[in-house]
Every structure is written in structure tokens, then in C-alpha cells.
Amino acid sequence: MIKIAVSVLFLLAIISSGMSITDEELLIHMEGKNEAPSWNHIFGTDWLGRDMLARTLKGLTLSIGVGIVAALTSSILALFFSLLASWNRMWDRFVTWLIDLFLSVPHIVVLILISFAAGGGFYGVVIGLALTHWPSITRILRAEILQIKTAEYVNISMKLGKSKLWIARNHFFPHVFPQLFIGFLLIFPHAILHEAAITFLGFGLSPEQPAIGIILSESMRYLSVGMWWLAFFPGLALLVMVSLFDMLGKNVKRFIDPFDGMKS
């Protein structure tokens, strides 16, 4: 509970700080360019005099927004396909084949191709992330639902004439919702890291947006002249945020099912 509370507090602090930053704080100030970290600029300034702390917090908030939409969409797709797999054997084979197809191709390659085909930018990245992060959680939900189908109360509902949609809504969904929520939390850090990766490679968000991937990509050309802070602090902030989400997801999983570790 303490770890969950600490994770949530830090993440809320990052989000509120990023949302409170105005466009004026991201403006160019050529008189203060290339300043090393100091009390006036804790993360230093870049080659255009922009405050790196403000850009980093804004970029983290943008990454969280992308992660929320992508993880939520992936979770909905995972729930849909897992319920579809429970319909009959034909659909189960189709969903299993689709999962194996997506998992057999290198993740980052599929993500870049889908993002590029969708036109790039915010929507291209979200579509790419949503369509590449559902297979792993779908496999877990499918196994849970197939196990529930053999339960006695499900068989009783079928004998009483309840439809498959009624059984899915009243029996399957309430049972898999905890796994779905935990999967949503665990997809989050992966989505954020992959968004930063493809943006760094130039296939993600547009250059005018203060995304972490763009900040890291731009900073590469200045590392050789000693401006180490341009990459160090944004990279460290991204690592901390991803670790917080990972810690939140794992501890929520332990809170919901304390005996999970003993089972494994």
C-alpha cells in the first residue's frame, strides 16, 4: 500500500507540474542558451535558451497522455479478442493465430510500420501502440476465460437458457476485470518507452512537440561539445517515470492477489 501511494503521488506530481507549464515557459531565450545546471535552471538550458526542466516535465506529461490512450485502447482490444475466443473453437483458433502472428514479428518493426502507415504524429503513434500491445494480455485473459467456461455456475447459466452475451457480461467480465486493470497498468510503461523510441528514430511525434524522444534525439548532436545535461536529465526522468508505473502495476497485482507469488 505504501509503494502504491508513493507511486501515485509522484505520478500525480509529474502530471500536475507538466500541465501547469505554460507556453511562455517554453519560449526561446537566446541570451541564456547552453547554460549548465544551476539553481536558476536545475536541468540547464538548451542551444535556444529553453529551460530543460520545463521541457522535460511537458514531455513526460505528453508521454503519459499517449500511454493512457494507447494502454486503454490495447486493453479494450484484449478484452474483445479474449471474449471472441470464448465464442467457439473457430474464433478461438483465429484469435490464437492472430496473437502468434503479432508476437512472431519484432515489436518495434511492426510499431514503426503501423505508425508510419497511419501518418505519424500523435494519432499515428497511438494507433501503432494500441495495435501492438494487446496480444500478451489477450493470451492471459483468454486462458482465464477458458478456465471459467468449465465452472459449474457457467454451465448452470447455459442450461437455464442464458445467452452467450449475458454470460460474458455477468460471469466472464467481472472475473477478468482485475487482470485487465493490472494489464492496463503494466502496458503503460511499455507504451511510453516505445513511444519515446520511435519518436527518437523520427517515426513518432512531430518535432515541434516537446516529447522526450524528440528532446533526446535533438540532444545527440550536442553531446560531443560537453552539453551532457541535455540527454542525461530527460533520460533519467523518463526512466524514473517508467519505473514508477512498473512499481505501481506490480504492487497493485500483489494487492489484488497476494498469493500470486506463492503460486508461481
Q: Residue 200's pLDDT is what?
A: 80
The boundaries of the domain holding residue 161 are: 2-263
Q: Residue 263's pLDDT is what?
A: 46
Average pLDDT over residues 114-139: 83
For 46-97, write each residue's pLDDT tens digit: 877 788 888 888 888 888 888 888 888 888 898 889 888 888 788 889 988 9
Q: Residue 264's pLDDT is what?
A: 42
Determine which helix (DSSP H) or strand (DSSP E) holds 87, and give its type and residue range: none
Q: How far is the C-alpha of 216 from the C-alpha of 47, rounded, in Å?
A: 13
The number of distinct structural domains making up the chain is 1
Mutual angle of helices 52-85 and 135-148, in 10-degree steps: 40
Scanning the chain, the segments in alpha helix (DSSP H) are 2-20, 52-85, 89-104, 107-117, 121-132, 135-148, 152-159, 164-167, 173-200, 212-219, 229-256, 260-263
The yes-or-no verdict on residue 6 having pLDDT over 60 is yes
Sign of the C-alpha dihedral, residues 174, 175, 177, 178? positive
For 141-172, write each residue's pLDDT tens digit: 888 888 888 788 888 888 888 887 888 888 88
CATH number at residue 170: 1.10.3720.10
For 53-63, write each residue's pLDDT tens digit: 888 888 888 88
For 224-264, write each residue's pLDDT tens digit: 778 888 888 888 888 888 888 888 878 887 877 665 544 44
Give the predicted TM-score (pTM) of the model: 0.78
For 32-44, write each residue's pLDDT tens digit: 777 778 888 888 8
DSSP E strand stretches across the chain: none
CA distances from 255 to 2, 62, 117, 145, 181 (A): 11, 29, 40, 22, 12
Q: Residue 259's pLDDT is what?
A: 58
> What's the chain's length in residues?
264
Q: What proportion of the chain, given as a percentage, has pLDDT over 90?
A: 0
The yes-or-no verdict on residue 138 having pLDDT over 60 is yes
Backbone angles phi, psi at 45, to 5 degrees: -125, 160
